[in-house]
Structure 1
Amino acid sequence: MKNLTIRLITCVAVVCSLRAAAQTTPQTPAPIKLFFEKTFIHTDRNIYNEGEDIWLRAYVVNAQDNHLIGTSKNLHIELIAPADTMVYSETLQLTNGLGKGDIPLPARLAPGTYRLRAYTNWMRNFGDNFIFEKSITITGSAAQGKGASIGSNSPKTVAAASQGAQSASGAPIIRFFPEGGSLVNDISAIVGVKAEDASGKGIAVSGPVLSATGDTIARFACDSLGMGLFAIVPVAGQKYHTSLKYKGQAVQAALPDALGSGLSLKVAKRDTLIYITISCNNAASATFAGKPLTLSVKHAGVAYASPQIQLTDNQALVKVPESILPEGITAITLYDDQHKPNCERLFYVSHPNHSAKVAVSTEKQVYRSREKVTVTVKTTGADHKPVQGNFSLAAIDAGVDHSAVDDIMAYMTLGSEVRGKIEHIERYFDTTNVNRARQLDMLLLTQGWRNLIWKRLADTAIKISYLPEQGFTVSGNVKDQNGKKVIAGANITMRNAKATGQKVFVTKTNEAGNYYFDNIPLYGQQRVTLTSRNDKGESNGILQIDSLSKNSLPINKSGLNETTDISANLTAELGKRAVANKKLDSVTNLKEVKIKASRNIVLRDQTAVSSGFPDEVLTVTAADMKFNTLHDYILYASKQAKPIPQPTDYPDQIVFFADGKNYKPRFIVDNKEAFFTDDDDEDVMAHFSNNYLSLPMTAVEKVVIRRMLAGLKPPKIASGAGTNIMGVGVVSNGRIPPPENLFVILLTLKPGAMELNGAGLTGTTLPGYYEARDFYKPLHTSTAINASKPDMRNTIHWEPIIRTDANGQATVTFYNADPKTNIRVVVQGVSGKGDPMSGVKTYSVK
């Protein structure tokens, strides 16, 4: 889909500044070996109805050898609307180059061709060369009842520098691409032709190549995808063009001017050898006579041949065995004696008899509705021996998604290294296609065309600005109460009560008052609290948090200007199925915990019930402003509160005495529960308590102290001895002990009190790694809970994690839905040897 600037892909060391977690200044710069990542996103389908879910699996590989790579831990997934606006984004956690996720499409989403974009932070160092994009067609109620043409509203990105006249708006466009980069006077050249209609689709046209005097020099004919070629020997002083008609419209386009002096490059395959011919014209003979030229033959930036040559009679021939090159695109570049690139040609190397393969099979070809299906996946390497690998499987109703099957092999070896959208990419990998080699050559002559004449090339150095992400970065600054002077050396503590593992992170502000927390593991939407303290433990300053999206990747104009015709019948069928499928339990969701406005309070870990004691209500008045903090005020005004007994590591705590015991309170602030439970560590509880107890009285409106009874807690998995099925402790005689007291402080703060951060406190909700949902897998048995409900699923099964064993095998089982249709099973993945692999199996439901 995107052009790979392969000439830049060399293994060199660059020095990058790495910022470590919980540090105020960057670490000492460390050398990083330059590497390149590619990603491929396997989605269950390409056509969806509004309100459905997109299920996806991510593969991130080393761009040079296609092995899964674990350097980056974050993969950014975005859904971009036809109007080039982002409608959804999430961050997937990568484990050894693998990740999974899903995108819940909103109801009433406008129909159109959307873009699914994926990238790591590291990929951003290289422009858009490694950014993954694919088109997703979405239909819905706005299109129901009529045939819908689902297409992008944005103009197509030009595939290369303009080579040919731009036609009038709405008219076809024809471009010419000389082999190697440029035409040179008096040297025979092959010229690729690309013809497109106004929407960017290839069109079949034919026409003459005319001289300035109107003589026909050559003719060309483009196939159904708009690609063709012809030969020409340009003559000094002549200009060339074409003039033809397409559906009654006049189309004219000019060939690029030929160079008066220069080098040319021709590439052709004969048997098992690649013949590379280098030529110069008489005008350039003196320039290159006796000078060493270098021919670089590279795959994914790795040099497989770099012979030095000299021209004899203005020509040289180099033969390269195809067997020494890996499958995929090879870049052949010609450098002059100053090591400036003069010509480049992309050439596809194919080893059909030595390719890794994945075979997908079912027990039979025809099934019944709701019948159980077992799919067997078998993988073999290029040596035809079983190979292990990581794969994903989608089984879909082929009747509702007639789009071409995505192919990770085609993308990794071809699509990711060629400019623009490749129409019908599958034809280039169909070994039964007798025109495959010629069609591949025309594709690389046009969409793989490069003009590398050094006079027209602006040399640029690689600048590393984006480091591989290992988690999330939270940053900001601290200023004084007036918001003007920065505070250096402030102790910043970040608490994340819901975090798995470490919950507390500490750092100091630097001389500019900035703080950084790097590589923080966050999962889902998580609330974090930050505090600022001086060395005496006193609150200080106003905390600000930087926007996490301030450095997001800009949205470019759509390069996926394609049109998918959705019939009225299909649109109506998708809408009908969407209604039926709402009755099924389509996904597994987590329940939200809410604080109920009643005498009973549902906390995160238990439900506290009324004890019958009246609330102790403390209404703050002007006279109470004499107290420094809420801590001091409650100790004075409450009849139940008392200082925590000493000695203790947390002297600023408050306890409440009842029934001969001291109880630490829980907090509900403005009807929201503070982020800690009785099961948290003491330092976590103390931290959150101090956040509120240290508030100035100017921030507080009302304090209510409610004495309650602790309720039963939710069931615990693997409860140990001494607990009942609810996870509640029991005594040896089996009796449940009486409920404990529970004190809750309900705070009402003044509007904006927390935002003012008068106590060096702030909090925010951070979007962490997206927590992928589980695909709903119905069990169609006579006792199934949904046995009487219609099953009209469009995606019959989605299995994001499949690993073949030492024998190269894996099995997946699922149940068919109700419709009588054809089911297409697609398996994508990467072997342990770095082979991208794809397999398809179709069966019928009757």
Structure 2
Amino acid sequence: MKNSYCRRIGALSTLLAVGALSFGFDTVPKPLHLLRQVMAFYEATQPEVSYLHLDQAAYVAGETLWFKAYLLDASSHQPDSLSKVLYVDVVAPDRQVLLKRTLALTDGLATGDMVLPDTLRSGVYTLRAYTSWMRNSDAGLFFTRRIPVWQASAPVSIGAETSVMRQAQLARRTARALEAATKPDVQFFPEGGEYVAGLQTTVGVKAAQAGGRGLALAGVIIDGNKREVARFSTPALGMSSFGFTPQPGQKYEARVTLPDGSTATYPLPAVRASGWVLNVREVGDDFRVFVRYQPPAGATTATAPLQLLAHVRGQPVYAGQGQIGPGETFQATIARSAAPAGLLHVSLFDGQQVAQAERLVFVTEARPLQVRLRPDKATYGPRELVNMEVEVTTSDGQPAPAELSLTVAGTPGLPAEAGDATTVRAHLLLTSELRGYVESPAYYLQSRTPETRRALDDLLLTQGWSRFTWQQVLGEPGTAAAGYRYPLERGIVVAGQLVRGNDKLVPNGELMLLIGKQKDIVVSKADANGNFLFTGFPGQDSTKILLQGRTAKGSSNLLLQLNEWWPRPVPAGWRPPAPLSPVVLASAEVVAYGQRSRRQQQLERIYRPDSTSGIILRNVDIRGRKEPENSGFRLHRTSQASSVLYARDFSNIESYQNIFQMLQGRVAGLTLTPNGISYSAQLRGITSMAGSNSPLFLLDGLPLLNPDALLSIPPTDVDRIEVLMGANATIYGSQGASGVIAVYTKRGLGDYSNVPAAGVAVRQLPVFHRTREFYAPRYDAGRSSEKPDPRATTLYWQPRLTVPTSGRARVSFYTADQAGTFRASIEGVSLAGQPAMAEAALTVAGQP
């Protein structure tokens, strides 16, 4: 990493010297500092990008979603080896995280699967993939993909057809009513960032429905005198642009004709009397940059200095500086060949190095990988061997090693309505750098036609860029990651912050971690910002932990804000996807696919009964005895307790405010003294010369540093309270010298993971997912099977397809009983960081 950084600095110096000559300067221009800061930001923050290749684009409830995970360096797109843990989840339209996977990464790669519950309602679910380190940046940089899941019902009988049609009509009316009640979102974005009076510019338009999908509409721009000054219309993806010259003192609004024929008005951003306008155009093999400037009224100088720089993912492309006056146009040329593929970020600064305008343009791959996928035949019979050759080369024919994944799925599949058509190329080169939802990313890169080029440019006019803000970059070098809350994970960790009720950080606090069945205790301290981190958890079993914190002065009057492993999407940035069409749900295409899928699921349950783990057990006899007590770990039995209070014996337990009130007056020799909101406890006749006279408090078998943590447990959740005194408490050693009070809840410690309690937090550690192997039987000569082959949707899934330095690999599998056409699709990245993609078709003929 350091050597790469030095090489880039050397290239930067050469680039800046050329830039200086092009602008007529004989010294290195000021943008050197800016580009060095950008490179230092990437070096310090080491951003990552994730991607998931799926076996299908849409699913029926009850099917298995198979995926290959790629974690890459965000700058070079080479496999990343820093983070070792990837989180993958499925989010429902109401923002609930439904399914979770924790994956152990090896050289930036992992495989996974999720069995979609057969009870899932038809809808569009969001699949996400991210690391802990990625959470320090905008959540818009997570890999996200909308996945349609259909609840395909059985074929409709003639008698029930009328009822189903009536339900479909009602659903359509409801959907239309919801759409009508939600005003479409129409926004206007001047190129570069602002309107400046008297300076012509391009304005991007973005029209979207409530769920974020594009909307085709038309409108006019009118000024404050109700005069029409421009017209525009948007295609189905909802984005377009038009030329516009704002005038001084005018306010503008758009009068839009909506799809239902109604009209609505939307204000345009205010016009500035002075400022900068930045326009970028692709001309032949170059990008032409045009800058114009309107000085403030009464400016003392006629000209103003400017600085211009461009980079792709932190890799410097262009830098220069110059002077500009009113009425002048400053021009610069950026050779497209000088930039790596992806988003070129062009920034304009004034003489004080304050960013005044920014523009994104797309650089196509000049030398894309050549990936070939060749089946040995075009048509196969049932249960016949398929051999596929994979070849990956550079554009000049040199072999290129790569990490790939392969899926072979039936066509036609399910409708991908409301889903995202994306690819590894579209994500790495486009959407991984953009903030917000992008509909159908693959469309923009599938071909280079005038229509797609215009659509891509309109997208970049209206979509926000997320990697950094200039305030972050222009700070002290090397400090960009100093305030990051989420750690770079090499394994499962427990991390968070100590705060007070007013969200004020608690510096240098003391922490004690108690680990489930092992009864291990780990002591640590928070840093000056209240951050704490515990590492070393193997992720092999789901262990419950209890974490207690105190201030440096010993007070437990604080809260532990633990980093949750699967965060819910924040409401501010969440747009629930539109519901799936009931008409499509009842279509012959979905019904036919649903029949194939149901048969496949039934056969899997019969011949592979454990569809969750992939492990089939023989018939066994299980003998054991029921544990009569709560499962929290303990050193004593209930029979050893001096006193036991059962919650079932409290006829009016709802009237007790806390556990201490339950104890008051019910245990002989126990004195409880209120002290503000807290209680002090002492068992009569028991004193300690060496330490506290307070008894040891346990919650579900785990000791508490401060009994105030019990104040957060509702008495209705208590199962029993056991009190040990004298010889009965000696099993706890010196900790039990003043007696023991053990509280056991009805459901165990883990149910309080989301209950805020003073100085205590309880969590259950995630477990690394053990991915199943895709069922791919072999039908070698002499090993035929009479069992039906259930593979009717995804015929083959190979997530670990490694292409060696020879650039060639071979994949073999057998067809199943299902006839039809299938599409084989490869995705992945070369070890040099280039996206790799290929497709091929094959046919399976039916039985003669």
Query: TM-score range with shorter-chain normalisation?
Result: 0.5 to 0.7
Q: Does the CA contact (< 8 Å) of 1:471 and 1:521 recur in 2?
A: yes
- The CA distance in 2 between the partners of 1:124 and 1:197, in whole Å, is 28
Could you tell me which residue of structure 2 aligns to residue 100 of structure 1? 111
Structure 1 position 409 matched with structure 2 position 425: yes
Change (3 A) 1:377 1:575: same
Residue 50, structure 1, aligned to residue 93, structure 2: no
Closer/same/farther in 2, CA of residues 263 and 64 from structure 1, 3 Å limit: same
RMSD of aligned alpha carbons: 4.8
What is the aligned length? 646
Structure 1 pair 141–825 and aligned structure 2 pair: CA distance change class (3 A) = closer
Give the match for residue 649 of structure 2: none
What is the deviation of 1:454? Answer: 10
**Residue number in structure 2 paired with 1:725:** none
> What does residue 695 of structure 2 align with?
none
- 2: CA distance, partners of 1:238 / 1:574: 57
Distance 2:456 2:352 in 1: 32
- The offset of 1:556, in angstroms, is 2.4
2:308 is the alignment partner of 1:295: yes
Give the whole-Å Cα distance in 1 for the aligned partners of 2:262 and 2:300: 46
**Alignment pair present for 1:597 and 2:597:** no
**SS of residue matched to 1:427:** helix
* Residue 40 (structure 2) aligns with: 12
Q: What are the superposed Cα offsets for residues 340-368 of structure 1, whole Å, 9 maximum, x if unpaired?
A: 1111110001134x112322221222333
Q: Does 1:472 align with 2:498?
A: no
Which residue of structure 2 aligns with residue 577 of structure 1? 596
Change (3 A) 1:589 1:280: same
**2:349 pairs with 1:335:** yes
Per-residue deviation, 1:179: 0.7
Corresponding residue of 1:205? 217
Trace 1:505-524 onto structure 2 (pairs within 5 A): 507-508=522-523, 517-523=534-540
Q: Deviations over 1:244-273 (max 9, x none)?
A: 433322132232221111110010111112
* 1:423 and 2:436 are equivalent in the alignment: no
- The answer to whether 1:222 aligns with 2:234 is yes
Distance 2:744 2:44 in 1: 52
Give 1:530 shift: 10
Verify the 8 A CA contact 1:343 1:453 in the aligned structure 2: no
AA paired with 2:228?
A: T
- Match of residue 321 from structure 2: 308
**How far has the Cα of 1:621 moved from its partner?**
7.8
SS of equivalent residue, structure 2 residue 816: coil
How far does residue 303 in structure 1 lie from its aligned partner after superposition? 2.6
| Residue number among 52, 61, 81 corresponding to 1:70 in the alignment | 81
What is the deviation of 1:804?
A: 0.4
AA in 2 matched with 1:10? V
Shift of 1:113: 0.7
What residue identity is the alignment partner of 1:518? T
Say whether the 8 Å CA contact 1:115–1:133 is kept in structure 2.
yes
CA distance in 1 between partners of 2:496 and 2:274 (Å): 58
Q: Distance in 1 between matches of 2:844 and 2:725?
A: 67
Counterpart CA distance in 1 for 2:252 and 2:512 is 72
Contact preservation (8 Å) 1:261, 1:283: yes
Deviations 1:660-703 (A, max 9, x none): xxxxxxxxxxxxxxxxxxxxxxxxxxxxxxxxxx99995999xx
User: Relative to 1, partners in 2 of residues 1:780 and 1:474: Cα closer, same or farther, differing over 3 Å?
Assistant: same
Whether 1:435 aligns to 2:454 is no
**Partner residue in 1 for 2:406:** 393
| Cα distance in 2, alignment partners of residues 243 and 765 from structure 1 | 54
| Distance in 2 separating the partners of 1:473 and 1:619 | 34
Code of the residue aligned with 1:442 in structure 2: it is D
SS across alignment from 1:583:
helix
- Partner of 1:334, secondary structure, is strand
Cα distance per residue 1:609-662 (max 9 Å; x no partner): xxxxxxxxx99689999xxxxxxxxxxxxxxxxxxxxxxxxxxxxxxxxxxxxx
Q: Is the 8 A contact 2:239 2:459 kept in 1?
A: yes
- For residue 381 of structure 1, what is the aligned residue in structure 2? 394
Aligned counterparts of 1:426 and 1:824: Cα–Cα separation in 2: 17
- Matching residue of 2:261: 248
Give 1:327's aligned amino acid.
A
Partners of 2:93 and 2:576 within 8 A in 1: no
Q: Specify whether residues 239 and 287 from structure 1 end up closer, same or farther in structure 2 by C-alpha distance, changes over 3 A only.
A: farther
Residue 823 of structure 1 corresponds to which residue in structure 2?
A: 822
Q: Match of 1:10, SS?
A: helix
Matched, 1:801 2:810: no
Question: What is the alpha-carbon distance in structure 1 between the residues aligned to residue 725 and residue 72 of structure 2?
Answer: 50
TM-score, normalised with respect to structure 2: 0.67
SS in 1 for 2:768: coil
What's 2:249 paired with? 237
Report the counterpart of residue 24 of structure 1 in structure 2: none
| Cα 1:516/1:341, change in 2 over 3 Å | closer
Q: Which residue of 2 aligns with 1:812?
A: 811
What does 1:437-836 correspond to in 2, within 5 Å? 437-448=453-464, 463-473=483-493, 507-508=522-523, 517-523=534-540, 525-526=541-542, 550=564, 552-557=566-571, 558-559=574-575, 561-562=577-578, 564-565=580-581, 566-568=584-586, 569-581=588-600, 582-584=602-604, 585=607, 589-590=614-615, 596-597=622-623, 766-780=765-779, 787-789=786-788, 791-836=790-835
The superposition leaves residues 94-126 of structure 1 with CA deviations (integer Å, 9 ceiling, x where unpaired) of 111111111122221222111111111111111
Report the CA distance shift for 1:204/1:476 in structure 2 as closer, same or farther (over 3 A).
closer
1:281–1:379: structure 2 CA closer, same or farther, 3 Å change rule?
A: same
Question: Is 2:68–2:110's contact at 8 Å kept on the other side of the alignment?
Answer: yes
Once residues 493 and 214 of structure 1 are traced to their aligned partners in structure 2, the CA distance between those partners, rounded to angstroms, is 70
Q: CA deviation at 1:780?
A: 4.3
| Distance change (3 Å), C-alpha of 1:476 and 1:446 | closer
Partner of 1:270: 283
Specify whether residues 238 and 68 from structure 1 end up closer, same or farther in structure 2 by C-alpha distance, changes over 3 A only: same
Q: Distance in 1 between matches of 2:545 and 2:261?
A: 68
Distance 1:754 1:511, change over 3 A: farther
Please give the alpha-carbon distance, in whole angstroms, between the structure 2 residues aligned to 1:90 and 1:197. Answer: 31
* 1:118 equivalent in structure 2: 129
- 8 Å CA contact 1:527, 1:765 repeated in 2: yes
Residue 89 (structure 1) aligns with: 100
Q: Does the C-alpha gap of structure 1 residues 199 and 530 become closer, same or farther in structure 2, counting only changes over 3 Å?
A: closer
Contact 1:345 1:449 in 2 (8 A): no
- The answer for unaligned runs of 5 or more in structure 1 is 1-5, 15-31, 156-166, 478-487, 498-503, 533-544, 600-617, 626-693, 702-748, 757-761
Whether the 8 Å CA contact 1:282–1:314 is kept in 2: the answer is: no
Conserved 8 A contact 1:111-1:138: yes
Whether the 8 Å CA contact 1:289–1:310 is kept in 2: the answer is no
Conserved in 1, the CA contact under 8 Å of 2:511 and 2:547? Answer: no
Deviation at 1:324, TM superposition (A): 0.6
- The one-character-per-residue Cα deviations of 1:226-245 (angstroms, maximum 9, x if unpaired) are 22221111111223333243
Whole-Å separation in 2 of the counterparts to 1:454 and 1:788: 63
Q: CA deviation at 1:326?
A: 0.7
Identity of aligned residues (%): 27
Deviations 1:700-746 (Å, cap 9, x if unpaired)?
99xxxxxxxxxxxxxxxxxxxxxxxxxxxxxxxxxxxxxxxxxxxxx
Report the CA distance between 1:55 and its aligned residue.
0.8
Contact 1:827 1:839 in 2 (8 A): yes
Which residue matches 2:3?
A: none
Shift in Å at residue 591 of structure 1? Answer: 6.8
- The letter for the 2-side match of 1:589 is G
What residue identity is the alignment partner of 1:789? P
1:306-350 per-residue CA deviation (whole Å, 9 max, x = no partner) reads: 211211453311111111111111111111122211111100011
- When structure 1 is superposed on structure 2, of 325-334 and 43-52 the one drifting more is 43-52
Residue ranges of structure 2 left out of the alignment (5+ in a row) = 1-33, 157-163, 498-508, 549-558, 626-636, 645-723, 732-741, 750-760
> Given the superposition, is the C-alpha separation of residues 230 and 64 from structure 1 closer, same or farther in structure 2, using an over 3 Å criterion?
same
